[in-house]
Amino acid sequence: MTLGIHGMLDGGQMMDDTEIGRIRDFIGVYSGRIGDSELKAQLGIVWKCAVIHEIIEGAVQGQSQF
């Protein structure tokens, strides 16, 4: 969640659809965690948005048998 003024022109001019306040944005995909104990700390695995874009733009098909 990002606070501030969103959707302004480069010169700082506000438009009809300018938002003031909080805005939600896609930041990544949660894909699992490391560790199998429900009682101990676990490390979450997240693919950040920029990495997902790199993968898609790379357009390289994987070689996995799965």
Q: So where are the chain's domains? A: 2-58
Residues with Cβ within 8 Å of 9's Cβ and at least 6 positions away in sequence, in order, are 15
23 Cβ contact partners less than 8 Å away, ≥ 6 residues apart:
1, 2, 6
In angstroms, the Cα distances linking 4 to 47, 62, 64 are 26, 40, 44
Per-residue pLDDT, 57: 92
Neighbours of 27 (CB within 10 A): 11
CA–CA dist 15, 11 (Å, integer):
11
pLDDT digits (tens, 9 = 90+) for 8-64: 888 888 888 887 777 677 888 888 777 777 777 777 888 898 998 998 999 888 888
Whether the full predicted model's pTM is greater than 0.85, yes or no, is no
